[in-house]
Amino acid sequence: MTQFQLNEDQALLLDHADKFGREQLLPLAERMDNEEWWPDDLMPKLGELGFLGVTVPEKYGGVGMGYVEAGVILQAFSRYNHAFGLSWVAHDNLCANNLYNNGNENIRERYLPKLCSGEWTGCLGLTEPGAGSDALGSMRTRAIKDGDNFIINGSKLYITNGPVADVCLLYAKTEPGQGSKGITAFAVETNSPGFKVAQKLKKMGFRGSQTAELVFEDLVVPRDNIVGEENQGHKVVMSGLDFERAMIAPINVGMAERALALSVDYAKTREQFGKTISEFQMIQSYLADMYTWIETMKTFSWQVLAESDNVEGHEAGRGEIHARTAASVMYCANMCNRVLDYAVQIHGGSGYIWESEVNRLFRGTKLLEIGAGTTEVRKMIIAGELLK
């Protein structure tokens, strides 16, 4: 599917989400960054407006659109409040979309309507203190059978939405000694006895996006809460990560777009040596590079999102889509870093001040080269598929 530009409906959706982001999300961004504050009333509002459950069918309370549509919403939100954009994608893609793709009817009917309405917020529990890039092979959280239940003990780290989530898609070892396999995925309600938020983590960037360490102490989870098949959770992880990588790329696009807009405005108003800095060829060169990188980021991310729409959940995690999603997020993250580096350079001293918007954007870039698989892991995936 060729997706080098948006169709009319997708362009209108981008404009609609942009308007919401500019009017509703931008005014919250500074407080969210300064105080690591979370707006509790925002998710239900998004549910009412049809900005949740984007890839979930209407049958379960969603809006039944595709990854391209979800991506342009995230792109627009991230222009004005990238911290909220990250929380949105953790809820809507990592949790809700995963539950739809891999859950049975019981799971879908129990959890998706409340996630799509914004009554509940979702998170994904995969990474652990000793299991980052090797999240599957080094997983220590254990789930032991006890009749019709599983007893889970362990911990998860760097969990986006962890402090505010009502539902967690949680991974635990159910068959030790199987390396990266022998894992099971569970849908867990966070108010269950034994589910604890050990600490809320303070971060360099994306500060308004709530991040936590989670601890499980004799957490009882019914067998009915298994997502996918018992001991086959690695399939859920790998397919979900491909869609996650495709969906993380638009955060980079939105942040870079905002950085360029701020840089153009600043260059046209900042005066030095008797003229605006926009008249200097070096500044013009920076702006031209930033524009070109952003245009290629947009077309690549849209293309891969469109390709993801044509892949069934069980087909992800291997093959060309595995390499393409890794390449998309890797390229967009690398280019976002370069765009923000130029943006701070154009802003000079004002860009180095913590309170400035361009500084807030700059502090967020590094996470995008680490989350959903580091740049190095992304390269390993791409090379691995090329060399097969």
Where in the sequence numbering do the catalytic residues fall? Answer: 244
Residue 195: which region, alpha, beta or left (left: phi > 0; alpha: psi -120 to 50)? beta
Bridge-based pairing state of the strands 149-160 and 167-173: unpaired
- C-alpha dihedral over 11, 329, 308, 81, to 10 degrees? -40
Written as six digits, the tokens of 113 are 């309507």
CB 318 within 8 A of CB 238: yes
Residue written as token pair 């990188």: 293
CB 86 within 8 A of CB 361: no
Residue 166: which region, alpha, beta or left (left: phi > 0; alpha: psi -120 to 50)? alpha
Bridge-based pairing state of the strands 271-272 and 122-125: unpaired
* Nearest one of 185, 205, 169 to 94, comparing CA atoms: 169
CB 136 within 8 A of CB 234: yes
For residue 180, what are the CA distances in angstroms to 8, 10, 99, 208, 312? 43, 39, 21, 33, 22
φ, ψ at 70 (rounded to 5°): -60, -40
Written as six digits, the tokens of 67 are 């990854």
